[in-house]
Amino acid sequence: MRVRLSAILAAAALGGCAPAPSPAPAGPPARIVSLAPSITEVVYALGAGEQLVGVCAQCDYPPAVASVPRVGGYLVPSVEVTLARRPDLVIAAPSPGNREAVRAIERAGVRVLVVHDRTLADLWASIRAVAGALGTPAAGERLVADVTARLGEVHARVADLPPRRVLVIVGHRPLVAVGRGTLQDELLTMAGGVNVAADAGQVWPTLTLELVVARAPEVIVDAAMGSEAGARELFAGLTTVPAVQNGRVVMLADETLLRAGPRVPEAAAALARAIHPEAFAG
């Protein structure tokens, strides 16, 4: 685990692993449309928030973004509303429904940058690609270094503690957990946890309740948008599960946990607090 973690951090530090498509730059863009919440956060963190002339309906951070016009949903952006904003750069992350829309925007002659937002490696690549497109590669390197350092600080607090067995759930009924290959799994590892659903073979596995009993997690992080009473009801009676025995079912309905953006250190810290509260006492 330690090896995997240092590999992630090393990849971030070394950089250059980003196969970012960079169309011929025609000067730094002045009018940008972002089609994903994670991208919007990256653009603001790079100090280019002023240039955003359109964002997706789910883009809700930082607060300043509230006044930026919407160009459709993250899953289905509107081609014509996007074009009506007369952008000189549209940045998109692949979603199940936006492929054709993004292509249409590109065909209309607008410069399009596609970045991925599923893992930490995606985040480093995305920061560098966006910074490159903005003509400020140095700012990109600074942001990567800053986010990496803050992730390292979180990890340092729990690095010497024995890792705890953790189940992170994102849905109650059906019971959907965080599997391997996700940003959440990576952050969980940094926060001093071992994902008990990592071997399920799927990115977002739907689990049978009895599996929770069999895997006996020490901490259950409930990232579903449910209520505390709901979580209690769901796991009531599973008295052999250490997390239930010790009252360690922690609600963490935090948007940052679902977003591969510059706020991943906050998400990691929230996870670390849930998994190792003793490291944050006092």
In the complex, minimum distance from the CB of residue 81 to another protein, in angstroms, rounded to a whole number: 16
Please give the residue ranges that form the binding site for another protein (CB under 8 A).
58, 73, 76, 170-176, 197, 199-202, 205-214, 216, 224-227, 229-231, 233-234, 236-241, 258
In the complex, minimum distance from the CB of residue 176 to another protein, in angstroms, rounded to a whole number: 6
CB closer to another protein, 87 vs 117: 117
In the complex, minimum distance from the CB of residue 213 to another protein, in angstroms, rounded to a whole number: 5
Give the number of C-alpha atoms closer than 13 A to the C-alpha of residue 197, restricted to the C-beta side. Answer: 31
Torsion angles phi and psi, residue 276, rounded to 5: -125, 70
User: How many CB atoms within 10 Å of residue 152?
Assistant: 16
CB closer to another protein, 132 vs 171: 171
Do the beta carbons of residue 266 and residue 272 sit within 8 Å?
no
Closest CA to 17 of 123, 93, 135, 170: 123
In the complex, minimum distance from the CB of residue 12 to another protein, in angstroms, rounded to a whole number: 26
In the complex, minimum distance from the CB of residue 234 to another protein, in angstroms, rounded to a whole number: 5
**Ordered strands of the 32-34 beta sheet:** 52-55, 32-34, 89-92, 112-114
What is residue 108's DSSP assignment?
T
In the complex, minimum distance from the CB of residue 178 to another protein, in angstroms, rounded to a whole number: 13
Q: For residue 253, give both structure tokens.
A: 């309905």
Query: Going by C-beta distance under 8 Å and a sequence separation of 6 or more, which residues neighbour residue 230?
Result: 172, 224
CB closer to another protein, 5 vs 57: 57
Q: For residue 57, give both structure tokens.
A: 């309906």
CB closer to another protein, 6 vs 240: 240
Question: Residue 16: helix, strand or coil by DSSP?
Answer: coil
CB closer to another protein, 91 vs 176: 176
Do the beta carbons of residue 102 and residue 83 sit within 8 Å?
no
